[in-house]
Amino acid sequence: MAGTYLDTIVAAHRTAAAQDERSLDHLVEAAARQAPTRGFGAALAAGDTLRVIAEIKRRSPSKGDLNPGLDPATVAAAYERGGAACLSVLTDAEFFGGSADDLRAARGACALPALRKDFTVDARDVADARLMGADAILLIVAALDDTELRSFLALAGDLGLDVLVEVHDERELDRAADAGASIIGVNQRDLTTFEIDRELAVKLAPRMPEGAVTVAESGIRGTEDARAVAAAGYHAVLVGESVVTSGDQTSAVQALARVAR
């Protein structure tokens, strides 16, 4: 996997973490004093239609600029009008053009729970997410060893954060289950090549642990793709490119949010 997109991005984040001299204890103490979160996992489990996690993303390493001039508050409000259950907000600056300010602005403009979409590689990243107002964090199994995965899951729980644990294959799904993940996302985009396999989520559905909230990520172009993953038992979809680049973001989300599950 040397030289892949994932390796490059994770290496940059690990370098930054190694240079971070802030006290973890102080960050955790401050994070623990924040207002209650909005319940990301509960929002995904509710209802009898597919839950939509609508993403605020300016650009990606594979596609370049998607919507570089977007206003996070305006987009978040449009997503909420369309019936989104949650937000996903990119906070990585170097590779995705995001920021903590994007998350704050988006969450402040609506009542939806917000996922901090970033590459969590250090316990301070978990505390930072809580401090910037996130209701949930992303943990990418491919980027972490088992000790990190379990440790970050535990810390997030202590701080009141939900965790979307992202997998890309059967082995990673087994690791997520063994670590006790309760919200599991199958990213159909291979983060080593950024290619999409639109059958991956359906393929992995039977292996999902009982009781887990399940999310299909990437490659959801519209209602046909959404119906396929809903029929396979998924609770939710995480959609970025197809909604953030839409000329009518409210309607784009609304179409997905009407899919029965």
pLDDT score of 38: 97
- DSSP annotation of 98 reads -
Whether 117 is a known active-site residue: answer yes
**Active-site annotation holder among 60, 67, 117, 241:** 117
**Active-site annotation holder among 67, 88, 182, 218:** 218
**Active-site annotation holder among 88, 182, 187, 242:** 187
Which of 4-8, 79-83, 93-97, 104-108 has the lowest average pLDDT?
A: 4-8
Whether 63 is a known active-site residue: answer no
Q: Where are the domains of the chain?
A: 5-19+38-257
Given a cut of 90, whether residue 84 has pLDDT beyond it is yes
3 pLDDT band, cuts 50/70/90, is low
pLDDT score of 181: 98
Span 5-19+38-257: which CATH code?
3.20.20.70
Tell me the average pLDDT across 16-23: 96
More reliable by pLDDT, 5 or 197? 197
**Active-site annotation holder among 166, 172, 241, 242:** 166
1 pLDDT band, cuts 50/70/90, is very low
pLDDT score of 30: 98
Dump pLDDT digits (tens) for 161-194: 999 999 999 999 999 999 999 999 999 987 777 7
**Active-site annotation holder among 60, 67, 172, 217:** 217
User: Closest Cα to residue 29, out of 131, 125, 98?
Assistant: 131
pLDDT score of 246: 87
pTM of the shown model:
0.94
Buried b (16+ CB within 10 A) or exposed e, 172-194: bbebbbebebbbbbbbbbbbeee
Whether 241 is a known active-site residue: answer no
Dump pLDDT digits (tens) for 198-256: 899 999 999 999 999 999 998 898 999 999 999 999 999 999 888 988 889 999 999 99
pLDDT score of 241: 85
pLDDT score of 65: 80
Note every long-range contact of 60-69, with CB atoms under 8 Å and residues 24 or more positions apart, other chains counting.
60/95, 60/96, 60/194, 60/240, 60/241, 61/5, 61/9, 61/95, 61/96, 61/194, 62/5, 62/194, 63/241, 65/97, 66/240, 66/241, 66/244, 66/245, 67/244, 67/245, 68/97
Given a cut of 50, whether residue 2 has pLDDT beyond it is no
pLDDT score of 63: 77
Dump pLDDT digits (tens) for 126-158: 999 999 999 999 999 999 999 999 999 999 999
More reliable by pLDDT, 58 or 29? 29
Six-digit token string for 117: 């979409």
User: Closest Cα to residue 136, out of 111, 153, 148, 150?
Assistant: 153
